[in-house]
Amino acid sequence: MEDSPSIEVLVASEQHIPYVEEILDTITRAAKVRGTGIAKRSPEYVKQKMLERKAVIALCGDEFAGFSYIECWSNKEFVANSGLIVADKYRGLGLATRIKRRIFQLSREMFPNAKIFSLTTGAAVMKMNFELGYRPVTFDELTTDAAFWRGCESCVNYDILQRNGGHKCLCTGLLYDPAEVKYHPNNNESKE
Predicted confidence (pLDDT) per residue in 90-104, tens digit: 999 999 999 999 999
Q: Say how many domains are in the chain.
A: 1
Phi, psi of 167 (to 5 degrees): -105, -20
- Binned at pLDDT 50, 70 and 90, residue 35 comes out as low
pLDDT digits (tens, 9 = 90+) for 146-181: 778 777 777 777 788 888 887 778 788 899 999 987
| Mean pLDDT, rounded, for 141-147 | 83
- Asked whether residue 2 is domain-assigned, the answer is no
Element (DSSP H or E) covering residue 178: none
3-state helix, strand, coil in the chain (%, to 5): 40, 25, 35
Tell whether the model's pLDDT for residue 39 goes beyond 80.
no
Q: What residues make up the domain containing 138?
A: 8-190
Q: How far is CA 128 from CA 115, 147, 170, 174, 186, in A?
A: 17, 26, 18, 11, 10
> What average pLDDT does the chain have?
86
- Binned at pLDDT 50, 70 and 90, residue 135 comes out as very high
- Asked whether residue 40 is domain-assigned, the answer is yes
Q: Which CATH number fits the domain that encloses residue 42?
A: 3.40.630.30
Element (DSSP H or E) covering residue 116: strand 115-120
- Asked whether residue 3 is domain-assigned, the answer is no
- Asked whether residue 123 is domain-assigned, the answer is yes
Phi-psi region for residue 87, left (φ > 0), alpha (ψ -120 to 50) or beta?
A: beta
